[in-house]
Chains A and B, each alone.
Chain A
Amino acid sequence: MPLIRALKRTVFISLTLFGVPVLHGENLFVEEKLANGLELIAFPSHKVPLATIVLTCKGGAMTESPGSNGLTHLWEHMFFKGNEKLPNQEAFKKRIRTLGITYNGDTSAEKVRYFFTLPSVYLVEGLDFMADAIATPLIDEQELTKERKVVLDEWDRNASQPEFDFYNLQRSILYQEQGFLRDPLGDYSVIAEANRAQLMQIKKDIFVPQNCALIVGGDFEYEDLKAKAEKSFSIWTAPKEWKAITPPSFPKFTKTIDFVMFRPHIDNASVELTFMGPYLKETPKDTYIADILASLLQHKSGKFYRKFVDSGLTLGASFSYFTQSQTGESSFYLRATPENILNAKKSLLAEISAMAKPDYFSSDQLDDVKRSLIIDHKREINAPSSFTKTLAFWWPVTGLAYYQGYVNNMNQITLSDVQDFVKKYLINKPYLAGLLISEENGKKIKLKDTSKPFADKWLKKRPQTQKST
């Protein structure tokens, strides 16, 4: 197999924590490049006679402009609406049924995925099906007119959630004019007026073999898959002189901003406190520490859980960190009764300072977190279909080398690293604090809605003319 660039990479080496199961040189997946530049990643697993085929590409909101915000997601919808082999969505769906496929697609700020799971006996047909869809989409004007309405209803479903404005406003305050780069749902008006030329431009920019990976998991033999994938995807040609879009850097978040938003249909109250943490492009090692910190704070024997959850102070408290390439939102989230929310928020601000103290977390807790990572990984690979999708998350966002080194790198993290992280990213650092509550409950605790100046500046209004029945 001379062409294989990195065949059967060893994923995890043995760990020597207390009673920890050892994963010795587990050959989980195979990675190589097809002739057209498309990465092929294979995760053979003969557990059930199914195959999951995922096409994942580096794109999303981060590769859009204000005038195209939301169109990568619209393109994702158009992917399923006909190609040179299957002229329309009806034909597409008939083929889906014939092959027993369950499918979906998703678009986020940094990736687009299309995924099919089907009986492995139909693997070749599934590969052809995916290749035709990505290589020869029709993006028919009539179909586009129809699908815009579908996507706008999806937009309206999101807008029907009482938290919609709250989260949009947070994103806009954090990223200002470049907030659209983190908003895959996009701009209502842009979607409503999208045309074929815009979508074809997205195809040229994003949906090219060099920018995507084909990840296949399930019941097949690798060599067999390789030959079939090479053949199926040979119709997808790589444009010459293609260059990846480089997303612009975000402005620094330099000043703490605090706002209160009143919205109807909000029971209780919530606070989200967001700091700008590490991200892969700049500070990869710190992204591991952020994950360790998040796990430590979930520890039910830990000080954070006891103080905020077990005491009854909140109805839920957590720290979340979502590994991304372009940005590193690190957020504390509190949900509490209206009478407790302000006290909970005040306590949280004080607690963050305590997290840098040597006795806040114990070495036993750190070992527990590391051990649980290994067992979680066992659980992850126990479900081939979802693990294939997981790989399709990591490939575009961080690259698989990051994922392969994940457990080993986590194992290197010390409590001192965690304390340094808290000092570097959290203590006395600017943050955005949003408090969401109903007007009735807000007034009971003497709050005023302070979001209006920000909302007037940043929140886009949905065009009312289209809000009709």
Chain B
Amino acid sequence: MIKKLLRPALISLVFLFPSFACTTDGTSSKTKEDNRLVSDASIAAQKEQTSVATLSNGTQVIIRNEPSSDLVSLMVGWPKGSSATPTGKKNLGIWAFDTLTMGSKNYPKDVLFALAEKYSLNIACSQGIDHSQCSLGTINDYWPQALAAFSDVILHPSFKPSDAELQRKQLLAHYESIANNPDAFTNELVNKCFYPENHPYFLSAKDSVTEMKQLKTSELSGFYQQLLQTTPMTLVVVTSMPKEKIIADLEKQFNSLPKISYTPPKIEVPPFKDDCSLVFEDRDVPTAYLLAKFSAPEVNSPDAVAATLLFNIFSEELDEEVRTKRSLSYATYAYTRQYRMGLGIIYSTTPKPEETLEVIQQVITKIKSTSYTPEDLSEFKKEFATAFYLKQETHHSIAAKLLETQLYHGSLNPFYDLPRELDKVTPEQIKSLAGKYLKNMRLGILFQKAGYKDTWAKKFISANKG
């Protein structure tokens, strides 16, 4: 069978595109004459399948009815991630959530592992930049046993020092391995320039190694309980079971938590600094790794939807000019990450970095000056229809998307209404947003020194200063 290997599957499989680039965001009704591939009726049906309830302690519960399968996906999320943890303790939450699944008060590790194996439960927890979450995957028949164990893990984790030490070693090994991977390491290089010291989003692998060695296992429980008691929890369940049953079950498990309200802090956009916009690292690799990072609309920005389309167009144009027409690269693309602070990213590997940066520059100039026709835009929008539905194939992917949307927006509409909002984006908006956001790039380059010159890298940065 195809196995998840611990070792990297290096060259057993080779792709047309890097795996990142093969997916796009995005939208189908039943008539191709209707330019809108996601129909109003389809959106309405999805909304109809979704209900929002509140437990007695104010905890929000989102239930999406999926009658096609007896699989169940439950996700629990909190609107706090590593960005909410002070510098010097950034890894505390990451470590705590990694350790969460190592046993609880009523389910010591051995019991929990045995139960998970007996019922084939998927239990996982993690902390991201803005959010923290845990997930449970099971089937209807095992729901009672699975929910009891899962809620005990959430409410009464044991944080046994020996287990926490194991997780510490794993995290350390993860951070130490980042320097090996050219992609991850180039990202580290850029981050050094992109983020000011103490920025909530800045988490360097090198600093994390130092930090992880200093944190104490005794800090975990206090940190986690503080989060649990001061941060509202949101629950999402995707299931074929009746919603009344789900709500009653969740009420029983989670009503002991206090009623909480929380407003996440605003994340400051890092200012561009002339004296730190370029980082080069000499490494004997046969292809150059280029990564440019810049500010883009944050998740709640009025520009967010149009920016998603802008980056899709930008990426397509880059691929066309750099790869298709000039064969300078196997992988060149752009994308945006919309967190509480937005990021724009241009990525390329190429044996000819100078020439490639020149072409990327030409594409940036073209996007800023081109007025796409509504027909062109309509074509670009179609890819979103496919991705919109791809996100709704599995119970887990639906739950994850609904949780993320609710935590960022306090509403599910931005997800369900995305196809209609995309319909509204105009060519003028795309041009305007390109001028507004495609600038002030911080550039990281990993390559052999003999193939690198400061002059052409600085020329690219200078051309995009604004």
Q: A and B: partners?
A: yes
Binding site for B on A (CB under 8 A): 19, 21, 47-50, 73, 76-77, 80, 89-90, 93-94, 97-109, 117-122, 146-154, 156-164, 167-168, 182-185, 265-268, 270, 272, 291, 294, 299-301, 309-310, 312, 315-318, 320-323, 333, 335, 337, 364-365, 368, 371-372, 375-376, 378-379, 382-386, 390, 393, 406, 462, 467-469
State in angstroms the CA–CA spacing of A119 and B388 once bound together.
Answer: 10
Query: Contacts A118-B386, A161-B181, A335-B6 given: A468-B351 contact, CB under 8 Å?
Result: yes
Contact of A159 among B286, B320, B389 (CB under 8 A): B286
Given contacts A158-B11, A301-B110, A321-B1, 17 further A-B contacts (CB under 8 A): A77-B16, A100-B385, A102-B22, A109-B12, A121-B28, A121-B32, A150-B329, A156-B349, A157-B331, A159-B287, A299-B117, A317-B6, A321-B3, A323-B2, A333-B5, A335-B6, A379-B394
18 interchain pairs, CB-CB under 8 A: A49-B29, A76-B16, A93-B319, A97-B316, A99-B382, A105-B15, A154-B331, A158-B14, A160-B285, A167-B10, A267-B179, A268-B177, A301-B113, A301-B114, A322-B12, A323-B2, A333-B6, A372-B117
Contact A104 B15 (CB under 8 A): yes
B393–A156 touching, CB < 8 Å: no
The 8 Å CB contact of A384, one of B3, B14, B352, B393, is B393
- Chain B residues whose CB sits within 8 angstroms of the CB of A184 once the complex forms: 11-14
Docked Cα-Cα span, A323 to B181, in Å, equals: 28
Complex Cα distance A89/B17, Å?
A: 14
Is the pair B330, A150 in contact by a Cβ cutoff of 8 Å? yes
Q: Point out the residues of chain A lying under 8 angstroms from B451, CB to CB.
A: 468-469
Give complex CA distance A309, B169 in Å.
11
Q: Do residues A160 and B182 form an inter-chain contact, with CB atoms below 8 A? A: yes
For the complex, would chain B's binding face be called helix, strand, loop or mixed by DSSP majority? mixed
Residues of A within 8 A of B383 (CB): 97, 100-102
Bound complex: CA A48 to CA B14 (Å): 29
Residues of B within 8 A of A (CB): 1-3, 5-8, 10-19, 22-24, 26-32, 37, 42, 68-71, 110, 113-114, 116-120, 137, 139, 141-142, 165-166, 169-170, 173, 176-177, 179-182, 283, 285-289, 316, 319-320, 323-331, 349-354, 379-380, 382-387, 389-390, 392-395, 397, 447, 450-452
Which chain A positions have C-beta within 8 A of B7?
Answer: 270, 272, 318, 320, 333, 335
Given A93-B320, A184-B12, A299-B117, A154 and B173 contact (CB-CB distance below 8 Å)? no
Q: Which among A108, A265, A321 has the greatest number of chain B C-beta atoms within 10 A? A: A265
B16 engages A105 (CB within 8 Å)? yes
- Lowest 7 CB-CB distances: which A-B pairs, in order? A119-B28, A100-B382, A469-B451, A104-B22, A267-B176, A156-B287, A149-B327
Contacts A372-B117, A467-B286; A315 near B169 (Cβ below 8 A) = yes
Query: A335 and B173: CB pair below 8 A?
Result: yes
Contact count A vs B, C-beta below 8 Å? 273
Instruction: List the B side residues contacting A272 at CB < 8 Å.
Output: 7
Given known contacts A97-B379, A108-B13, A150-B323, A315 and B173 CB-to-CB distance under 8 angstroms = yes
Closest residue on chain B to residue A92 by CB atoms: B324
B-chain residues with CB within 8 Å of residue A372 when the two chains form the complex: 117, 120
Bound form: Cα–Cα A155–B452 in Å: 21
A119 in contact with B117 (CB, 8 Å) = no
Determine the residue in chain A with the shortest Cβ distance to B176: A267
Inter-chain CA distance A48–B118, complex, in Å, is 32
Whole-angstrom CA separation of A153 from B290 in the bound complex? 13
Contacts of B13 in A (CB 8 A): 106-108, 184
A382 touches B395 (CB 8 A): yes
B285 surroundings in chain A (CB, below 8 A): 156, 159-160
Considering residues A90, A267, A378, which has the most beta carbons from chain B within 10 angstroms of its beta carbon?
A: A267
Asked, given contacts A89-B324, A98-B379, A378-B69, whether A119 binds B1 with beta carbons under 8 Å apart, the answer is no
* Closest beta carbon of chain B to A207's beta carbon, Å: 15
A390 to B1, CA, bound (A): 10
Of all chain A residues, the one with the shortest Cβ separation from B66 is A47
Does B386 contact A119, Cβ atoms closer than 8 Å? yes
Question: Measured between C-beta atoms, what is the minimum distance from B456 to chain A in Å?
Answer: 10
- Please name the residue on chain A nearest to B395 by beta carbon: A382
| Chain A positions within 8 Å of B42 at CB level | 49
Residue of B nearest to A309 (CB): B166
Q: Which residues of chain B come closer than 8 Å to A375, judged between CB atoms?
A: 120, 139
Contact B37 A121 (CB under 8 A): yes
Known interface pairs A153-B287, A160-B287, A335-B6; A469-B114 also in contact (CB < 8 Å):
no
Asked, given contacts A161-B10, A301-B117, whether A318 binds B5 with beta carbons under 8 Å apart, the answer is: yes
Contact of B349 among A157, A379, A390, A393 (CB under 8 A): A157
> How far in angstroms is the closest Cβ of chain A from B131?
24
The 8 Å CB contact of B16, one of A80, A100, A159, A161, is A80
Q: Which residues of A contact B32 (CB under 8 A)?
A: 121-122
Q: Which residues from chain A contact B385 at a C-beta distance below 8 Å?
A: 100, 119
Q: Which A residues lie within 8 Å of B17 (CB)?
A: 104
Contact, CB under 8 Å: A100 / B11: no
User: Per a CB cutoff under 8 Å, which of A299, A312, A382 touches B165?
Assistant: A312
A120 to B289, CA, bound (A): 38
**Complex: A146 Cα to B326 Cα, angstroms:** 7
CA distance in complex: A406, B452 (Å): 53
- In the complex, the answer to whether A100 meets B37 with C-beta atoms within 8 Å is yes
Bound Cα distance A122, B30 (Å): 9
Residue in A146, A167, A168 whose CB lies within 8 Å of B327: A146
With A106-B13, A153-B330, A184-B13 in contact, do A48 and B393 touch (Cβ < 8 Å)? yes
Q: Give complex CA distance A114, B328 in Å.
A: 23
CA distance A103 to B113 in the complex (A): 38
CA distance A152 to B393 in the complex (A): 35
Is there contact, CB below 8 Å, between B286 and A268? no
* Cα–Cα, bound, A118→B354 (Å): 37
- Chain B residue with the shortest CB-CB distance to A100: B382
CB distance from B50 to the nearest CB of A (A): 15
| Chain A residue at minimum C-beta to C-beta distance from B117 | A368
Name the B residues within 8 Å of A150 (CB-CB).
323, 327, 329-330
Given contacts A379-B394, A385-B393, A97 and B380 within 8 Å (CB-CB) = yes
Q: How far does the alpha carbon of A300 sit from the alpha carbon of B320 in the complex, in Å?
A: 48
How far, in angstroms, from A103 to B22 measured CA to CA in the complex? 6
Look across to chain A and name the residue whose beta carbon is closest to the beta carbon of B142: A19
Query: What separation, in Å, do the CA atoms of A108 and B9 have in the docked complex?
Result: 12
Q: Are B120 and A371 in contact (CB-based, < 8 A)? A: yes
CA distance A259 to B355 in the complex (A): 41
Smallest CB-CB separation from B110: which chain A residue?
A301
Give every chain A residue within 8 A of B71 (Cβ-Cβ).
Answer: 378-379, 382
B120 contacts A117, CB within 8 Å? no
Nearest CB in chain B to that of A384: its residue: B393
